[in-house]
Structure 1
């Protein structure tokens, strides 16, 4: 310390960092790949501290008139290791650092350079300077300058790193000495659009979905590239620069876009700071090993399903998967005591009752309080009557009539119900009908496009009235129209089995639409372009960057893993979900009509006819006990209030929005590149403070509450596969057929042979168990992973108010769940609607709103 004492005008800092561990990287759900790597932990303490150096940069004084960049101080190194901070899954260490810095000569620090001279990287968490001065604005901490870093620092030969203090500035208000550095850092993050991205790169650029691959036998039109093609529009994903290979079996009609990105199994790229934390990597690997490696892999090669039927032998065998498990033979496991290979946690849907899921009330309730409560809409008179056009000389399609509906409407007439807004529909006709010809030509698929008609009863619950099942009608070798049958509720006899099968077909439609559209497309896929554009165009100094950045945490990484193992050609989704190889095409077809502004919850509810504005401008729900909407609107309103107050801190008027060059370029890229396949006219112009508030609130809503609502209920409801099957393999049996006789004699067997079989069910359950699990290091809405995420004290105060409002909402949601008069809150299965409670413990909890699409 004697050398330190002798120095003049010292500024003390505290550096927090994490040294890289060997269990650092996982590129696929197959496991951990970072083995054999020399780590920082191998180095001695002295070598480490002398291999990391820092230089402060002034924000108030420039080098000279010809060089406006801030003055740079002398290089210094880490001093003694002060402490080790024990945290979940990570080993944070604190070091002292001392800078020679004369305030009169150098001004106030606003940034710093860091140089890593080791071969390996380390994670820089933060640096805090003890710097009391009157020149720091009244909005900041008066005694410290905080640098919230949270970034991997690689060897300096790859790139030099700069970090800025936590004080936010709009571009026009940036201190002169920091302006050039601000622009240079954004330029580094954009890259030049060329070359293969290396694992240490921090470059954000756009690309189409050309990394989903293909399978043997694909023709020129099989597994098309998504994005950049008017026939297959899609949001963009992060560009990796991997080698492109020509798709096989192409012909003269092949388009330029029909190339695919080639990636080795253990080789993929996301910008370095987008990787999971070390703790989450370990946890994710363990869950994957348990869920997929421990259950699915043995089944892939075992004689168990090759030598036995792939059909469940009754509902009791399904229940065994949760009550002790189904053991594999010794010849497969090679152990003295065979493990329970098919042993899953008991899903919430059957914890209270094993049969309540089958009731009509629960079937309808899950449309407004289940896994996919975002599709049901008010029935319109114009889509009630379907023209009964003649298909061919031998078939006339069925249509729903007033008589069909009124048979179960408790004496209420259809016209009265329309006037009172009491008729609703779950409509999957247009989403699936265009693909049913292809789907039904797959080896085991037999599917309909469904419409389900429902009535709002006096007690506030929904009652299914009729199910319309449609499929393309074949007459000879030609498809000439649509064949439609209508199934009405029944409680006894063969008609009740047909009704149960019709409901199963509805749920298969719903399960597939949920996974491909409501979940993957409408949250995961659409949010990634916003994350890319934010890093490319909004400096870390920008207040909107600080607002939005937490809501992109882990999204790019989880999406890359999904493209590798879940939605790629021949992978899990194609193997276990109804549309098979057409799954992603269907999501592309729906994306054509995706409109950003309609993702705002109030507009979504109004568009679906489930809410309206009264004379005072207040939003009123058509179904008052609509758990997703009631809880969601509270979360939406609290979020919007927080965003509104935050935005007002930085934009004094609409002109300030228009003059914000970074903000305008950000939005331009979102519209023209990130979502460039959609019509520009549908996007807001981002010319006012109101536009900024609505836009940012919608982004946060999609990434947090909307994703939570359609994700974390997957296992609680869908873990019981017969409640939410993903495949349909038989149409409704016709009289005088073998299937009809089997349905009459053994309804359970007929039902199980219609839905997802055993092997595919095992994979489905393993995946949704993983997707429904909260990580230990999750950061929830109303939380930040760093207490010093901004130095703006008023912003910190407003965020605390937001956090407090969410706590109040959490209590109100719990109170509603305890209100027995609100029958849709728990339903026949007695499962309270908790998925929009803001906080959660780790695990499958059926609650908790993470800040981002992180799983």
Structure 2
């Protein structure tokens, strides 16, 4: 086979040489930067031999210029093609070990018929793929330097029906695209769409849609089955990327699953969406300890070796400050079964085996290790913690429910004025409502529809909750009442049985109040992970990734605007479906909704509204902000010291200005938006397919005006960058200390006359840990949030882009202005965090709010806004 390919290639060379015209040609010099497959550790002897043979005849990698000026009727009116040219000295080019890049030279013959090259056809005749980064042409007549930003895997040419085409970094709306390039623009989009039927392989670049029918594994038994999410009124959901795996044996509607340990490598995502080499190496260093087949058995073994449960805060604190001594001989046998690099973060080997976790910020200061228990910190984390998205203004008292009374009976709150008025600094309830000083964290309506099933069919025991807070004069919040509810014993139509708890500092009443706050946080932790984090960032954004790649050409201005904000999102979502949000996955193991986790997120997706994801809209809808032309950004915050809202609004309006400047350069009128066929196809497919279960919602922008385009793109980038950063990278800072953010409970609130209440009176710390998660779930939960909170070494932050991404000076200047504004925001955040008048910026635990600080650092830095949802 190799000999035949060599002879064919040699024949091509002879034919080209003999057919060349004798007229003079100018030589254009070019450079190509790529990463060979051996840098990623995939090289083989076969690959090396094949590459060497093709190098001998000079046809390993060929490139062909495509004219942007002159069409060729013989090429279906596509651009005039230049001659095949080859990379020079493939096997003689050294690969720098530091970065893995290899630089090659290539020379092109040029004449007037080629004119300005607008694209390059590249063929890889080697036996293995490589990662193509850039192609640069120098001294092109009439054009000067032309840069091609490729960043794509290129497989052997025989794997493709058509050779790979790469466009220069010029940006074109469809109607101004040079006619000779239209053919290639359209053909490339057809390749990316695929045919919707073929089985997809790792090398494919196809973007397509499917429902979430891959969460369960019914072949393992009924307890592993999960409903299909998406495509029905009962379980609506955003679409995910199609993987083309066959159906399971037990249920034709459920996609079959791969088997660990190869699972993470076998789930299809388009080739260029797969993790890069640096991301892959960081995943080994940081993330492998989260794999179900390795870490969970390890933690189970540790629990077997230390069968006593956690009994006190001091015992838990040892996991961070001193480590937990473990039996050496038995543990050595366990550790030997697991790759050592993964264990370095877990154990130290100095004669003792110690299980030790990084110290979370919330207890990092020695004299602040109990500050998390205060009411002030409990409330502060609703505006500056890891889930600052739910608190809202209370507009009526007592709070009411929106649940259907025909199904769920009476669900309104039973909190009375007498239970809270003594705590309102002399105000009546009516006065507090009228002055916008009562707020609520409401986890009632979202939990009630599943509460009976949760408490009867899983190991969890939880309450629905409402928390009433009073806004003090210094802009801090004070919890004044917590209502915990359970379903009525006689059935849902009889409503709920509720009990109200109010603040207390001492004795058993003080312990009960701490328990009440813990039950609230259990609800908040589940809502945060499954809704604020997974659903409202990861899941809702994936259809945008797919639609953008299917309908917008790489040279379309909106593609270039949005593409950096999609990096690694499909890959991390595919991985999440395999080991995090799947049946029996880590989230089901560690958060209270258990097997109903994603089903509950589907229920809440019914009320998802794309336009509400805009931060100003969200704040106004929650009653946190009101329009005020005399205030910054035209909004006045009712909680003036609301770190997420303050920093978020600064980021939002800086982002919106950048998007506005960018879009206004390419779309001078609304008519240009209306007449852009790619843009209209993109928005139509996004609404009708990607979020197809909500396609009839009236709130979708019609995409008929430039303003609608600006607002939509700003929301997309906000979700991918700042919103995800706000709800993700503080998880370990706050939730790494389990008592501060418990994720499930296994006993109800202790009631007088019960053994649990007696235990609470005798030993409140022991009772707390017996009520919340057992040791295994506690250790697993800490591990999960540690993995999710880390910035990898190849993170790309907001305001950073690959050089040479466009040739237009106006967008480049606008992006530079955006960068400058982000730097100013960083300075403003640092200044506010040092202002002692702003008590919510650091709180009793002395943890500065930096989750929306644009620039980040590797690891558990607790700051930085990545461009994309990459973890």
Asked whether the two chains share a fold, i.e. TM above 0.5, the reply is yes
1:816 pairs, out of 821, 826, 832, with 832
The structure where helix makes up a greater share of residues is 2
- CA separation of 1:397 and 1:310: change in aligned 2, threshold 3 A: farther
CA drift at 1:385? 5.8
CA drift at 1:499? 0.4
- CA separation of 1:39 and 1:594: change in aligned 2, threshold 3 A: farther
**Distance (Å, rounded) in 1 between the aligned partners of 2:210 and 2:402:** 43
Aligned residue number for residue 186 of structure 1: 189
1:371 pairs, out of 386, 394, 397, with 386
**Distance (Å, rounded) in 1 between the aligned partners of 2:739 and 2:28:** 65
2:538 pairs, out of 510, 517, 524, with 524
**Distance (Å, rounded) in 1 between the aligned partners of 2:180 and 2:482:** 67
**Distance (Å, rounded) in 2 between the aligned partners of 1:769 and 1:584:** 22
Question: C-alpha root-mean-square deviation of aligned residues, in Å?
Answer: 2.8
Give per-residue Cα distances to partners, 1:799-834, cap 9 Å, x unaligned: 111111100111111100011100000000001101
8 A contact 1:440–1:446 mirrored in 2:
yes
1:766-805 matches, within 5 Å, as 766-784=783-801, 786-805=802-821
**Distance (Å, rounded) in 2 between the aligned partners of 1:156 and 1:168:** 27
Aligned residue number for residue 323 of structure 1: 321
**Distance (Å, rounded) in 2 between the aligned partners of 1:366 and 1:406:** 24
- CA separation of 1:436 and 1:40: change in aligned 2, threshold 3 A: farther
Q: Tell me whether 1:114 sits opposite 2:130 in the alignment.
A: no
Give per-residue Cα distances to partners, 1:74-131, cap 9 Å, x unaligned: 000112479768686x4011111101111x2222100011001122100000001113
**Distance (Å, rounded) in 1 between the aligned partners of 2:200 and 2:259:** 14
**Distance (Å, rounded) in 2 between the aligned partners of 1:319 and 1:219:** 40
What 5-or-longer segments of structure 1 have no aligned partner?
Answer: 25-33, 137-142, 249-255
- CA separation of 1:91 and 1:378: change in aligned 2, threshold 3 A: same
2:232 pairs, out of 229, 238, 241, with 229
CA drift at 1:149? 0.1
SS in 2 for 1:455: strand
**Distance (Å, rounded) in 2 between the aligned partners of 1:313 and 1:665:** 59
**Distance (Å, rounded) in 1 between the aligned partners of 2:504 and 2:67:** 77
1:248-287 matches, within 5 Å, as 258-265=253-260, 266=262, 267-287=266-286
**Distance (Å, rounded) in 2 between the aligned partners of 1:708 and 1:244:** 35
Aligned residue number for residue 731 of structure 1: 748
Aligned residue number for residue 704 of structure 1: 721
**Distance (Å, rounded) in 2 between the aligned partners of 1:398 and 1:280:** 48
**Distance (Å, rounded) in 2 between the aligned partners of 1:772 and 1:80:** 44
Task: Compare 54-63 and 279-288 and name the one that shifted more.
Answer: 279-288
Q: Tell me whether 1:244 sits opposite 2:263 in the alignment.
A: no
Q: Tell me whether 1:93 sits opposite 2:93 in the alignment.
A: no
CA drift at 1:218? 5.5
CA drift at 1:8? 3.2
Aligned residue number for residue 454 of structure 1: 469
8 A contact 2:398–2:412 mirrored in 1:
no
- CA separation of 1:493 and 1:701: change in aligned 2, threshold 3 A: same
**Distance (Å, rounded) in 2 between the aligned partners of 1:485 and 1:377:** 22
**Distance (Å, rounded) in 1 between the aligned partners of 2:398 and 2:678:** 45
**Distance (Å, rounded) in 1 between the aligned partners of 2:492 and 2:171:** 64
8 A contact 1:10–1:99 mirrored in 2:
yes
2:602 pairs, out of 575, 580, 588, with 588
Aligned residue number for residue 145 of structure 1: 146
SS in 1 for 2:77: strand
Q: Tell me whether 1:351 sits opposite 2:364 in the alignment.
A: yes
**Distance (Å, rounded) in 2 between the aligned partners of 1:624 and 1:799:** 30
**Distance (Å, rounded) in 2 between the aligned partners of 1:686 and 1:66:** 35
Q: Tell me whether 1:649 sits opposite 2:665 in the alignment.
A: yes
Give per-residue Cα distances to partners, 1:120-151, cap 9 Å, x unaligned: 100000001113444x4xxxxxx211100000
Aligned residue number for residue 5 of structure 2: none
Count of paired positions: 821
SS in 2 for 1:471: strand
Q: Tell me whether 1:762 sits opposite 2:779 in the alignment.
A: yes
Task: Compare 269-278 and 613-622 and name the one that shifted more.
Answer: 613-622
1:658 pairs, out of 657, 664, 674, with 674
Aligned residue number for residue 639 of structure 2: 623
**Distance (Å, rounded) in 1 between the aligned partners of 2:38 and 2:861:** 30
8 A contact 2:381–2:388 mirrored in 1:
yes
What 5-or-longer segments of structure 2 have no aligned partner?
Answer: 1-16, 334-348
CA drift at 1:41? 11
8 A contact 1:398–1:483 mirrored in 2:
no
- CA separation of 1:461 and 1:188: change in aligned 2, threshold 3 A: same
- CA separation of 1:764 and 1:221: change in aligned 2, threshold 3 A: closer
SS in 1 for 2:65: strand
Give per-residue Cα distances to partners, 1:745-772, cap 9 Å, x unaligned: 1110111111122111111111211111
8 A contact 1:671–1:680 mirrored in 2:
no
**Distance (Å, rounded) in 2 between the aligned partners of 1:840 and 1:602:** 25
**Distance (Å, rounded) in 1 between the aligned partners of 2:26 and 2:411:** 92
Give per-residue Cα distances to partners, 1:470-503, cap 9 Å, x unaligned: 111213x887321111000001111111100000
CA drift at 1:404? 1.2
- CA separation of 1:445 and 1:293: change in aligned 2, threshold 3 A: closer
Give per-residue Cα distances to partners, 1:587-628, cap 9 Å, x unaligned: 100011100000000000001100010256811111010000
TM-score, L = length of structure 1 = 0.92
**Distance (Å, rounded) in 1 between the aligned partners of 2:45 and 2:271:** 17
Aligned residue number for residue 27 of structure 1: none
Task: Compare 810-819 and 679-688 and name the one that shifted more.
Answer: 679-688
**Distance (Å, rounded) in 1 between the aligned partners of 2:304 and 2:703:** 59
8 A contact 2:61–2:125 mirrored in 1:
yes
TM-score, L = length of structure 2 = 0.90
8 A contact 2:380–2:476 mirrored in 1:
yes
